[in-house]
Structure formats: structure tokens, C-alpha cells
A and B are shown apart, each in its own frame.
Chain A
Amino acid sequence: MSATTTDPAPAPAGGPGPEPARRSAVRPGDRIFSGLSKGAGITLLVIMAAIAVFLTIRAVVAIRANEGNFLTTFEWNANADPPVFGIAVLLFGTVVSSVIAMLLAVPVAVGIALFISHYAPRRIAGTVGYVVDLLAAVPSIIYGLWGALFLVPHITGLYEWLDDFLGWTGVFSYDGSPARSLMTVGILLAIMILPIITSVTREIFKQTPKANEEAALALGATRWEVVRMTVLPFGRSGIISASMLGLGRALGETMAVATVLSPAFLINISLLESGGGTFAQNIASQFKEAGAMGRDALIASGLVLFLLTLLVNGAARLIIARRKDFV
């Protein structure tokens, strides 16, 4: 028996007995599974390519007809004849609100993840983890309503305080108008991306090899030093990946931003005052009233958002790959 099963040569045609015949056949299970997984992979590529082609074709039409400069015009009159529109305001608003969200959310998320994985007693850790996961289940329109009805009226105090101390920078000057600004959007986005960053980093932190933590302890490291020597470096690429997931959500968030922001096609250096816009919010706000050219113009702005997301993900991969030798 062992002689037949270990023989690696392909079965000769019409070999005697059931064993050799079976050996040569590709098992149907293998074939089905390989087909399914290959199909899934190809489908993904096809969908991505289809989206890119669709966006590009429609965008080119709009950009050709555009009388303004697509990159620098501070205006969005895509339904006018001739159409005049530019993405400068949207690019600024999208990047700024997402950066604010990342600056606020990543440190807090890493802190919560460390608390859950390394500091809290098991029962408290479970509860905190559950509450954080629950935050992820809240629909974005609810965040939008909460932002518009609670955050906007209540955050003015903080903005006035910022104005008192940092108003001279210009970035934090505040005129007392309703706080439907990029800063408020950034804060809201930070809350929205907190759960995804927290739960991904928490899982990574939990996988830190026990042996390394013990090695650090045995060298006389305190609890924080153990975290700094083993958990954080080990989780570094995980923190970056988790942040990118969060950033992806922040860049594309539509409903919550559209509900909170009071859009205006201008770049206001003060982040606390209303004005500005984001790609997704602008598409959502303008799509219904847009004509054929207006829609193509919005699609062109969507293409830029698509490219921006690709760029961010590519950059993150580069950062992770640079230290690949070290786990």
C-alpha cells in the first residue's frame, strides 16, 4: 500500500486497481474551491477596474467642458453654461477634516486598546471593548443628527476658549457663528472612526508574544516600559493599518458631514468657523439638483477622492514594508 501511495509519478493510463486511477485525478473539491477563490479574486479586480473606467470616462467629459481650472477654481457652478467648477475647496476640506479626525482618534484609540489589552482587569476590559464595538454599530446619520443638534451648540464654549489663547494663529480664530465648521466635522469623524481603530489595534496588541513581554519584565522593565519595548513596536504595522481603515472611512463619510457642515465654496483659514466642504458631502448635497454636466462634474470630484484614497493606502503600505525585516 505504501508503495502505491508514495509513488509520485503520474499514473500510467489504465493502471491496474482503483488506487492509481484515483491518484491522477484532480479531486473535484479542490477544483471547485480553486475555481471559486480564483473567481472571487478576479471579480474584485473587474469591479475595481469597472469603477475606475466609469469614473474616468465621465470625469473626462466634464473636465473638457470646464471653463474654470479643475484644480484651483474656488467655485462649483457645474450646471451653468459654460460650467465652471474646481475641487480646491473640496480637497482642502476633505484632507483637513480627516487629518483632524486622525490626530484626535488615533492616540485615543491606541490608549483604549492598550487599556483593554494590557491594563484593565478582565471584566472591565470586556465591558469597555463591548461599548467601543457598539459605537461602530451606530448609523452615520445618527452621528450626524447628534453632531448637528448637540455638538454644534455645545462646542462653542471650547471654540471661544481656543480663540482666547490661540486665536492669534489665525487657524483657531472664532467669530461666534454656529460651529458648523471643519473642526466640528473633524471631531465628529474622530468619534466615528474610533471604534474601528480601537478594535483592530486591540487585537494586534493581544497577539504580542508573551515570551517577549516576559523578557522585558525580566530585564527590570515597568509595565509601561514593557508596552513601549514590546507591545507598541510589535503592533506598529497594525496601528498603521487600523489608522488607514479609519482614514478611509473619514475621507468618504457623507451623511454625518452633510448634516453638520454648513457648506460654502471658500477656504477659511480658521478651522473653527463655518465654510468649506468635502468631496462626499458635496456630491450628496448637489447630486439631486444636478443636470447631466453637473453629474459628470461630481463624478470627476469622486475620481479625485478615489485617487486620494489609493494614494493614502499606497503610502501606508510603503511605511509598513520599509521595516519588513523587523516583523
Chain B
Amino acid sequence: MAKRIDVTGLTAYYGTHKAIDDISMHVEPKSVTAFIGPSGCGKSTFLRTLNRMHEVTPGGRVEGRVMLDNEDLYGPGVDPVQVRRTVGMVFQRPNPFPTMSIYENVIAGPRLNGSYKKSELDDIVERNLRGANLWNEVKDRLHKPGAGLSGGQQQRLCIARATAVEPEVLLMDEPCSALDPISTLAIEDLIAQLKSRFTIVIVTHNMQQAARVSERTAFFNLEAVGRPGKLIEIDDTDRIFSNPSEQATEDYISGRFG
């Protein structure tokens, strides 16, 4: 489990609009990499190219190469459905399936792949809810709707749902931006635990969060509105926040724009 990601010359389009231009980077296994940058700089788009969710958007198109260890995600004959089973995703707004109970939400992914015995399913539910630090809060109401939980609990349920398919990589698209500070702290603690099992990439608007949770940080920027987003630099988080190589990074993290 947990694989290394190598991206080479990746460009993504929405129809004719080029959203991100020529991005190359690598992500170490069992580490947390944070993407920061202003709105519209393409960091979420780039994240979605890593599990082929970008092409779900009408007009979405990708050029370049994404290697997961030795496998090219955009290679000929690669099934995007299989890619998404290997590279899981947690979204900005908690989105548990409203028609399913907590229990059913967690097993939704595993059930797609095969049939399990009841005891195996119980096991998957307990293991992943424990892994998401949610078990103690919900163990007495597993068959109540997932939508009845608080926002922070829902987001941890979504993380449990994503980890239940045993992915290699976990992508998180601003997972705390809809949550209060206490729930945010709970998710950050969880990320610190999850990185022992998964390669984690997290997009965040919160620079303190990037500094707290990640080993490496990538800074994205765009020259102007309507221009494609670019990767300015990626480096150890300590360096990015203390002594970045690029002036643009320095300006952004210290709050001076333009």
C-alpha cells in the first residue's frame, strides 16, 4: 500500500480553456503533500487529474503523464474506474450518500468490488470508522442516516468511506473548508495518523494547516485571470514557509499579493 506519484508535463483543459500548464512533480509515498495557492490557480483541477476525475467534467481533457509507481494512469487501456479505486478522494463539502445509513456509507465502495459476508462487512465498518476516529461517536447508531451527523463527523465518515476501498493514495480537496475549528483539528489529527498507511495529497486555502499537516508543500499561481495555473515551486514545507526559493511564494505566504 501507499505508492509514489510521478507527474510529468501535465496540462489540463476545460474545453479550449487551458486550466493548468505543464506541471511536473513527484509525491513521496506515506507522506502528506499540501497544495497551496490563490483561488483559480488550478490546484483543485490538478488534484482531480491524479485520479482521473477531471475528465468527468464536460470538456475536461488532460495531456501529460501521471505515474503511480510504474503504472501510467493515462496509459492506453487503463480503466479510469480502476484508477479511482486505487486513488481515493475526499471532497470539500462532506457528501455522505443521503439515502444510506452510516454503515451503508462505509461499505458502499467495497460492495462495488465484490461480495462480502456480513461479518466481513461488520469488520470493514468498524476498522474504517475507528481509523477515521469516528467509531466511538457512532457505534450505537450505525443504521441511522449518515446525513444526520454534524459536518465534521460527516467529513470523517467520508474519509472512512474513502479508506474502506483500501486505496494507495488519498486525495483531499479542501477537506476542512466547510468545518469549524474543532472539527478541523480532528481532521488534521486524523491526517497525521493516515499518512502511515496512505500517500496523502491535500489542497488547502489555510496556510497554517499546510504548515501543520504536510511534509512537502507545492505553491501554485497564475499570472492573470484567464491564464493557466502553474506550479511555482515544491519543496519541504519548512523551507517553503521559512525560506522559499521563489519571490512569488514569499509574497503569497507573507500576505503580499501582486
Chain A positions within 8 Å of B, measured between CB atoms, are: 209, 211-212, 214-222, 225, 229-230, 233-234, 236, 325-327
Nearest chain-B residue to A228 (Cβ)?
Answer: B112
Nearest chain-B residue to A210 (Cβ)?
Answer: B95
B51 & A218 in contact (Cβ 8 Å cutoff): yes
B98 & A327 in contact (Cβ 8 Å cutoff): yes
B53 & A219 in contact (Cβ 8 Å cutoff): no
Give 1 or 0 for each of B73-104: 1 = CB within 8 Å of chain A CB.
00000000110110011010101111111000
Using known A-B contacts A211-B93, A220-B113, A221-B112, determine if residue A326 contacts B56 with beta carbons closer than 8 Å: no
Chain B positions within 8 Å of A, measured between CB atoms, are: 51, 53, 56, 81-82, 84-85, 88-89, 91, 93, 95-101, 108-109, 112-113, 144-145, 147-148, 158, 161-162, 165
Residue from A214, A220, A230, A327 within 8 A of B91 (CB atoms): A214
Q: For the complex formed, measure the closest distance between the CB of A64 and the CB atoms of chain B, giving whole angstroms.
A: 51
A218 & B84 in contact (Cβ 8 Å cutoff): yes
B112 & A220 in contact (Cβ 8 Å cutoff): yes
B88 & A218 in contact (Cβ 8 Å cutoff): yes
Can you name 13 A-B residue pairings with CB atoms under 8 Å?
Answer: A211-B91, A215-B97, A217-B56, A218-B88, A219-B109, A220-B85, A220-B109, A225-B112, A229-B108, A230-B97, A234-B99, A326-B101, A326-B147
Residues of A within 8 A of B162 (CB): 218-219
Q: For the complex formed, measure the closest distance between the CB of B28 and the CB atoms of chain A, giving whole angstroms.
A: 22
Residues of B within 8 A of A219 (CB): 84-85, 88, 108-109, 112, 161-162, 165
Q: For the complex formed, measure the closest distance between the CB of B179 and the CB atoms of chain A, giving whole angstroms.
A: 15
B81 & A220 in contact (Cβ 8 Å cutoff): yes
Residues of B within 8 A of A214 (CB): 53, 56, 91, 95
Residues of A within 8 A of B99 (CB): 230, 233-234, 236, 326-327
Residues of B within 8 A of A222 (CB): 81
Using known A-B contacts A233-B97, A327-B98, determine if residue A216 contacts B51 with beta carbons closer than 8 Å: no
Residues of B within 8 A of A236 (CB): 99
A212 & B97 in contact (Cβ 8 Å cutoff): yes
B108 & A216 in contact (Cβ 8 Å cutoff): yes
Using known A-B contacts A214-B56, A217-B53, A325-B144, determine if residue A233 contacts B100 with beta carbons closer than 8 Å: yes
A212 & B95 in contact (Cβ 8 Å cutoff): yes
Most buried by B among A212, A215, A230, A233: A215
Q: For the complex formed, measure the closest distance between the CB of A304 and the CB atoms of chain B, giving whole angstroms.
A: 37
Residues of A within 8 A of B97 (CB): 212, 215-216, 229-230, 233
Nearest chain-B residue to A223 (Cβ)?
Answer: B81
Residues of A within 8 A of B100 (CB): 233, 326
B53 & A218 in contact (Cβ 8 Å cutoff): yes
Residue from A209, A217, A229 within 8 A of B84 (CB atoms): A217
Residue from B89, B96, B113, B147 within 8 A of A218 (CB atoms): B89
Complexed CA–CA distance, A229 and B109 (Å)? 10
Residues of A within 8 A of B53 (CB): 214, 217-218
Residues of B within 8 A of A217 (CB): 53, 56, 84
Nearest chain-A residue to B144 (Cβ)?
Answer: A325
A221 & B98 in contact (Cβ 8 Å cutoff): no
Complexed CA–CA distance, A209 and B112 (Å)? 20
Complexed CA–CA distance, A219 and B161 (Å)? 8
Residues of B within 8 A of A215 (CB): 91, 95-97, 158, 161
Residues of B within 8 A of A229 (CB): 97, 108
Using known A-B contacts A215-B95, A236-B99, determine if residue A327 contacts B84 with beta carbons closer than 8 Å: no
A211 & B145 in contact (Cβ 8 Å cutoff): no
Complexed CA–CA distance, A211 and B178 (Å)? 14
Nearest chain-B residue to A327 (Cβ)?
Answer: B98
Residues of A within 8 A of B82 (CB): 220
Complexed CA–CA distance, A214 and B84 (Å)? 11
Q: For the complex formed, measure the closest distance between the CB of A233 and the CB atoms of chain B, giving whole angstroms.
A: 4
Complexed CA–CA distance, A211 and B158 (Å)? 12
Nearest chain-B residue to A323 (Cβ)?
Answer: B99
Complexed CA–CA distance, A221 and B111 (Å)? 10
Using known A-B contacts A218-B51, A219-B162, determine if residue A326 contacts B81 with beta carbons closer than 8 Å: no
B165 & A220 in contact (Cβ 8 Å cutoff): yes
Residues of A within 8 A of B51 (CB): 218
Complexed CA–CA distance, A214 and B92 (Å)? 12
Using known A-B contacts A219-B108, A219-B162, A229-B108, determine if residue A326 contacts B98 with beta carbons closer than 8 Å: yes
Complexed CA–CA distance, A25 and B97 (Å)? 47
Nearest chain-A residue to B90 (Cβ)?
Answer: A218
Residues of B within 8 A of A230 (CB): 97, 99
Q: For the complex formed, measure the closest distance between the CB of A73 and the CB atoms of chain B, giving whole angstroms.
A: 47
Q: For the complex formed, measure the closest distance between the CB of B128 and the CB atoms of chain A, giving whole angstroms.
A: 13
Residues of A within 8 A of B89 (CB): 218
B84 & A220 in contact (Cβ 8 Å cutoff): yes
Complexed CA–CA distance, A83 and B104 (Å)? 60
Residues of B within 8 A of A327 (CB): 98-99, 147
Q: For the complex formed, measure the closest distance between the CB of B115 and the CB atoms of chain A, giving whole angstroms.
A: 14
Given contacts A220-B109, A221-B81, 6 further A-B contacts (CB under 8 A): A218-B51, A220-B84, A222-B81, A233-B99, A236-B99, A326-B99
Residues of B within 8 A of A221 (CB): 81, 112
Residues of A within 8 A of B165 (CB): 219-220
Q: For the complex formed, measure the closest distance between the CB of B46 and the CB atoms of chain A, giving whole angstroms.
A: 16
Complexed CA–CA distance, A325 and B147 (Å)? 9
